[in-house]
Structure 1
Amino acid sequence: MIRAHTVDQVRAAEALLLAELPEGALMQRAAHGLAYAVLDFLGSAYGRRVVLLVGSGDNGGDALYAGVVLARRGVQVEAWLLSEQAHAGGVAALRAVGGRVVRLDTPLVPRGYSTSFRPDVVVDGIVGIGGRPGLRPNAVAALAALEGIPVVAVDVPSGVDVDTGAVDGPHVTAALTVTFGTHKGCHLLDPAALACGALELVDIGLPEVEPVETTSTTEWASMEALQPADVAALLPRPGPASHKYTRGVVGIRAGSATYPGAGLLSVAGATCGLAGMVRYDGDPAVNDWVRDRHPEVVGAGRVQAWVVGSGSDTAAEQALRDSLADEVPVVVDADALAFADLARGRPAVLTPHAGELARMLGVDRAAVEAESLSFALRAAHEYDAVVLLKGRHTVIAEPGGRVRVTTSGTPWLATAGAGDVLGGVIGALLAGGLDPFDAASVGSWLHGAAATQAAAGGPIVASDVAAALPSLVAALIASLDTE
């Protein structure tokens, strides 16, 4: 499992480690890890060229000492100092091994810079985890002068919000981000995660710092990204004495004469095999479609979870009221989200995309897309329910501040009906016994991974995702059994 930590948590862990290490040892660990990551990125050392963009903090020191390692391996290294307070020891060490140091003292180009020195890689050591969103003009000018050259970011891409993943103003867009000790929120949360490129985690011996619960409506207490082994361990699995009822029964109230496909796709997601039975109790106009395509689905009756809202049109409110009356967990999607306040305080998973969440909170969609974490946490608090905010990196938040981010998936998953399948999968997991937070995060991971498997690098439609789920689940279980 990937666990991310806040800036305050990272600083607390670093303080504990620094108390045990000789002065400068922690920076050397980070610098060596960074240098070897850059060498791997370059593919060779001798004769390659690297420019270091160096700010005033320890992040710049990491870059300078990494430059020392690179220079000793035959790399031509040039450091552009963006501040008068650059790490003095790092500057001296780089000069001592033949590295070139220039200062960016105008908003245009560094003094002494020659356009003949075109680097293979730029190392972003402008600001670290203490930085604020946006960049100063001289940093923007430096990046503009080096446009088109791949960037390796030190710890985080400079200019992003480290805890929230928000972006406000100019920032670095990296091909690779080399981070130290632990992941940070911006590595998982869009839009900043888009700016990270590939991620490489360097172990510097950072001790674990336990997260502190928060009462904030927009700050997270803990953040995780499930990995295949985590998903496999959480999957509900039948035992020798299991039967269809003990494995869980999920009910679907989705689709309408106007949108019959939404009902069919919700059923398709629910019939992935993770629940023992699927019941369809939606619009009668969709019944024949369901029976024709999913003969294993039965009619109305008792269930352990409901999936409500996809394509329900004008029936969404009553369908949600009827489902909540059964006092079982509910997935609230699409048309039913307009009535999500009815589910407040219930065991529920609300599954909006950015536009739907914007309507639920009375804000602009662009604001939600810019700060997905903050608005997901706000909605979880206001509706007292688990909120799954769909996106490239889906955010799952619960009222207490726990957050999971789904990083599985493919851009081809942006296709009509994919959300209907997701709701069915989550409903099956709820019926199978998972709590809403686990059901939402496991269901989202499976949904993304099934899409990647089905796409195989090309386009897909939503029904392809549903069809890929059973084989994906089988592979996950097999991998767990062989460990």
Structure 2
Amino acid sequence: MPHTKDDLPDALYSAAQVRGLDASLIAAGTPGFELMQRAARATWRALVRQWPSANELSVLAGQGNNAGDGYLAAVLARRAGWTVRVLAVGDPQRLQGDAGLAHAEAVSEKVSIEAWSAQSELRGVVLDALLGTGLSGDVREPYASAIAAINASGLPVAAVDIPSGLSADTGRILAHAVRADLTVTFIGLKVGLFTGDAADVVGELVFNDLHADPQLLGGAPISARRLNAGNLPRLAWRPPASHKGKFGHVLLIGGDRGFGGAILLSAQSALRSGAGMVSVATRSEHVPAALARIPEAMVVGASSASQLMGLLQKVSVLVVGPGLGQAAWGRSLLSAAANAPLPQVWDADALNMLAEEQVSLPGDCVITPHPGEAARLLGISTAQVQADRPAAAHALSKKYTAVVVLKGAGSLIASPDGRLAVCHQGHPAMAAAGLGDVLAGLVGALIAQGMEAFDAACLAVWLHANAGEQQGKFGRGLAASDLIPAIRQLLEEQAPCLK
């Protein structure tokens, strides 16, 4: 999990967009070499802050501008009295432009520069300046071996701009990637630093805009926005004379035989997240357990869709799918829901039946697939979804004209209008059953309280992830129900009930 500081900007860019920003800065009068020097100084400062007692640096430099940043950082380390070596992967004499100037400065400062080989010894802090954001295909030799050597060294590792081998656009490891303890990135934050495999390789993330003109950055197109406590959509405060009828009635449909717990988790989450009223339609066998666990909910034992019809006219939001199963009972209830003109949240088996085209998704829906469900919905493999999570989220949102929550490390929220939000919080202890059921109920409750679907999904994902991060500090064994009181507390901190 990256220990990302939350004083970072919200805007996230593609690699091409950042290159455009870089070009704009140069066109506006800042020489490219000056930007490279600023990047090197930012890297050096971050490195010294992270490892204040270190005095030795091994720089692995490649063949692009990333290498130029590394050579200049080596110059700064040598001037500070550190023992410094640059291990060059490829011939440094072939470096051109600003990177060539950086190499020449390192030579003039008498920095030790050697050709890297598999026998090269790494010492001190390792600075990864091998491959930058322009990488698209899989990492090849000799870079693959150099990356393996860094990862096997057991030494502290800092990466310049992005860990070599991590896609700046998708967050996918391109066959091999440096596992950094610290990544220092520049000008604009890249989407790939916050989703997919990024959590395993980025480490602590430090950002420096290289003194870019804020007006220039502010007018540039972005790819996504990063969710944080300062930019979340907020529920309105409640007037003192409020009553339950003002905050929605959520009906949760699911819980076939053997799967009763899923719908109860969703219902409990909806109740504790502020829905005015909560009803559950489930198998009759689960009614006693539901009433014992959630006496505040109205529970209907439904043996067929016909028993839902009266209830569907009384509620304001549906949550469909947790524990629903794909047998005749679940199909019947899902069909009834699909024909109801209500805002809806579809999860789990509702999505699996949607993928099989057994039913059509109504309008005004939020769908919450994990990567496997997303793959079925798109007719591709899970690996293909994970290879480009932002593209998969956009494709789902366009295909179904729905707000999409693509779950996983670096959850993504996509809107049919093209908006994309990224939530990079969370904890590996959240790799447990039932957490998706809690999220579905939370989204439903926020919509019931008047939030627009995209805003509700963004707030729900952030609350869910941060509750998991909070509870994950206690270690393994996190139960989905552990998140519910933590979500309630975080929601009150974000949007107090009283003005």
Mark yes or no: TM-score above 0.5.
yes
Aligned equivalent of 1:407:
424
Aligned equivalent of 2:305:
none
AA of the residue aligned to 1:470: R
1:235 offset after TM fit, Å?
Answer: 3.0
Q: Does 1:203 align with 2:209?
A: yes
Aligned length: 462
Aligned equivalent of 1:143:
147
Q: Structure 1 vs Structure 2: percent identity of aligned residues?
A: 34
AA of the residue aligned to 1:310: P
**Contact 2:237–2:497, Cα closer than 8 Å, also in 1:** no
Structure 2 unaligned residues grouped into runs of 5+: 1-8, 300-310
Which residue, out of 367, 384, 395, partners 1:350?
367
Aligned equivalent of 1:69:
76
SS in 2 for 1:366: helix
Aligned equivalent of 1:392:
409
AA of the residue aligned to 1:477: A
SS in 1 for 2:438: helix
1:343 offset after TM fit, Å?
Answer: 4.7
1:308 offset after TM fit, Å?
Answer: 0.4
Aligned equivalent of 2:279:
279
1:400 offset after TM fit, Å?
Answer: 3.5
Structure 1 stretch displaced more, 463-472 or 360-369 = 360-369
SS in 2 for 1:404: strand
**Contact 1:76–1:99, Cα closer than 8 Å, also in 2:** no
- Aligned-partner Cα distance in 2 for 1:91–1:361: 47
Q: Does 1:165 align with 2:165?
A: no
Q: 1:415 to 1:61 in 2, by over 3 A?
A: same
CA offset digits 1:134-164 (Å, max 9, x no partner): 3341223333444322321111112222112
What are the within-5 Å matches in structure 2 for residues 180-259 of structure 1?
Answer: 180-206=186-212, 207-208=216-217, 210=219, 222-231=223-232, 233-259=233-259
TM-score, normalised with respect to structure 1: 0.89
1:452 offset after TM fit, Å?
Answer: 2.4
- Aligned-partner Cα distance in 2 for 1:454–1:310: 23
**Contact 2:415–2:454, Cα closer than 8 Å, also in 1:** yes
Q: Does 1:155 align with 2:161?
A: yes
TM-score, normalised with respect to structure 2: 0.86
- Aligned-partner Cα distance in 2 for 1:242–1:297: 19
Q: Does 1:308 align with 2:300?
A: no
1:479 offset after TM fit, Å?
Answer: 12
Q: Does 1:60 align with 2:48?
A: no
AA of the residue aligned to 1:338: N
Q: 1:435 to 1:177 in 2, by over 3 A?
A: same
- Aligned-partner Cα distance in 1 for 2:371–2:30: 48
**Contact 2:170–2:387, Cα closer than 8 Å, also in 1:** no
1:119 offset after TM fit, Å?
Answer: 1.5
Q: 1:429 to 1:236 in 2, by over 3 A?
A: farther
- Aligned-partner Cα distance in 2 for 1:167–1:480: 46
Which residue, out of 427, 449, 454, partners 1:437?
454
1:200 offset after TM fit, Å?
Answer: 0.9
1:362 offset after TM fit, Å?
Answer: 2.5
1:25 offset after TM fit, Å?
Answer: 1.8
**Contact 2:147–2:176, Cα closer than 8 Å, also in 1:** no
Which residue, out of 119, 127, 145, partners 1:123?
127
CA offset digits 1:264-315 (Å, max 9, x no partner): 1010110123222212233333232222221222354622211001111233
Cα RMSD (Å): 2.4
Aligned equivalent of 2:490:
472
Aligned equivalent of 1:81:
88
Which residue, out of 4, 11, 14, partners 1:6?
14
Q: 1:455 to 1:193 in 2, by over 3 A?
A: closer
CA offset digits 1:397-442 (Å, max 9, x no partner): 2234322222222111111111111110011011112222222221
What are the within-5 Å matches in structure 2 for residues 413-424 of structure 1?
Answer: 413-424=430-441
Aligned equivalent of 1:323:
337
CA offset digits 1:435-462 (Å, max 9, x no partner): 2222222111111211222343323211
SS in 1 for 2:184: strand
**Contact 2:39–2:186, Cα closer than 8 Å, also in 1:** yes
SS in 2 for 1:281: strand
- Aligned-partner Cα distance in 2 for 1:365–1:190: 12
Q: Does 1:372 align with 2:376?
A: no
Q: 1:205 to 1:344 in 2, by over 3 A?
A: farther
Which residue, out of 11, 15, 18, partners 2:23?
15
Aligned equivalent of 1:215:
none
What are the within-5 Å matches in structure 2 for residues 288-303 of structure 1?
Answer: 288-298=288-298, 300=311, 302-303=314-315
Structure 1 unaligned residues grouped into runs of 5+: 213-220
- Aligned-partner Cα distance in 2 for 1:27–1:128: 13
- Aligned-partner Cα distance in 2 for 1:262–1:324: 20
